[in-house]
Structure 1
């Protein structure tokens, strides 16, 4: 086992990280792009630096890491690149314009690269979860948009299982929870439906938020 730390917003650090892993194991079979950054709030309230940082961590670095890893993958045998996206990348989310945009871009990249590499035994895929019961949203519960909590919460273990399934299989995307994935598809295809249902989802999210606050206290 090899454990390394790096700031993936630093492209030089990414290059050193990949080189160290390839040297230790003689190549790289699986890349999981899991890092994420979210400066929450309306776009107009965020600084240009915060916006750039989200783009760097959530989109630029995963593409850069994929480009670094591809030449180091074995010529034969199964290989995979798995992106950790978000339901916010499947349907626009107000209060998270930059985050939603970067996750949407990451999802588009996964689908495009999947088609490019389909004949090379490299499965490129994306897992798109809704809210996950981690500190990423639970430590900032008052800053997170209420609508986020309108969907059932997944566990880190469930997301990890989905990543492993994608890395071992041929699917291109897993949405979590399944029904929430269908809702985001409807919201993307029919913007009026998304806007019309927003009030209800916010009310559900506020009620669930209160439950989570009581749980934490």
Structure 2
């Protein structure tokens, strides 16, 4: 597909803030028509007001756990712009804490938002992309999906599942001109983490912080078909691979990583870099 995305239709979930908003701005700069999805209309109106100066924008306030609403979403996008070319599954939910201390319904909600909904949305997108003779599906994963993470067991499981789905779907669609990829970042300097910093596991901050724009740029790269997966930071991707392959080493290094993360977290809380 055209690498500049000019006049392509891009659907972005979780688009009203953070990575979703940064991704919307980046695709807008490439000339894409935008379909911005989030639960709250107010946040969508804010980002749409800014981007309507640059490109055409359709906002859809909805819950991606609503299967019927998901089908209607694609109908609205196609009716507005005549195609669906790119789907960015960015919306996410994280109920932090150990499984034993958590609520079962909240953990189930994580599975719905982080895994079930992206699978359904991706499946719904494919007929439109086949009609357009090309397209892209990019999922926003996490380093937590590349190696087990205590204190975030269900979250890690959903992101690991999303990663497996991405690679499998990419293989299924080889030769179809539909690119499939996943961006797996560590901590990102957005409200998703920073507004709940005291609840975030210390070990998360043992990795360097990425910006929302860095993640957005990686999403665009995956949409272009430049990679099936991009980990941020890149060195953390290597470390998570080692941690997954050598669990004994991961457990041995965990105390040191917690100490490192705890120090970094305190700097972030004090406003340092």
TM-score bin, normalised by smaller chain:
over 0.9
For the residue of structure 2 that corresponds to 1:174, the secondary structure is: strand
Which residue is equivalent to 1:198? 254
Aligned-partner Cα distance in 1 for 2:88–2:188: 17
User: Normalising to structure 2: TM-score of the pair?
Assistant: 0.77
The equivalent of 2:168 in structure 1 is 112
Cα offset for 1:23? Answer: 1.4
Q: For 1:115-171, what per-residue CA distance to the aligned partner results, in whole angstroms no more than 9, with x for missing partners? A: 000111111110000000000110111100000011000000000000001101241
What is the CA deviation profile of residues 24-68 of structure 1, one whole-angstrom value per residue up to 9, with x for unaligned ones?
111211000001000000011111110110000000000000111
Q: 1:81 aligns with which of 137, 161, 169?
A: 137
What are the equivalent positions in structure 2 for 1:85-96 lying under 5 Å apart?
85-96=141-152
2:111 alignment partner, one of 55, 63, 72: 55
Task: Show the counterpart of 2:52.
Answer: none
CA distance in 2, matches of 1:170, 1:112: 17
Matches within 5 A, 1:170-189: 170-189=226-245
C-alpha separation in 2, matches of 1:100 and 1:138:
19
Larger helix share, 1 or 2: 1
* Residue from 3, 17, 20 that aligns with 2:76: 20
Stretches (4+) displaced over 6 A: none
- Is the Cα contact below 8 Å between 2:180 and 2:225 reproduced in 1? no
Equivalent-residue separation in structure 1 for 2:63 and 2:171 (angstroms): 29
Q: For the residues of structure 2 that align with 1:108 and 1:68, how far apart are their CA atoms?
A: 19
In 2, Cα distance between the equivalents of 1:132 and 1:23?
35
Q: Which runs of 5+ in 2 are unaligned?
A: 1-56
Q: TM-score, normalised by structure 1?
A: 0.97
Aligned length: 216
Cα RMSD between the aligned structures? 1.2
Counterpart-to-counterpart distance in 2, 1:75 and 1:12: 21
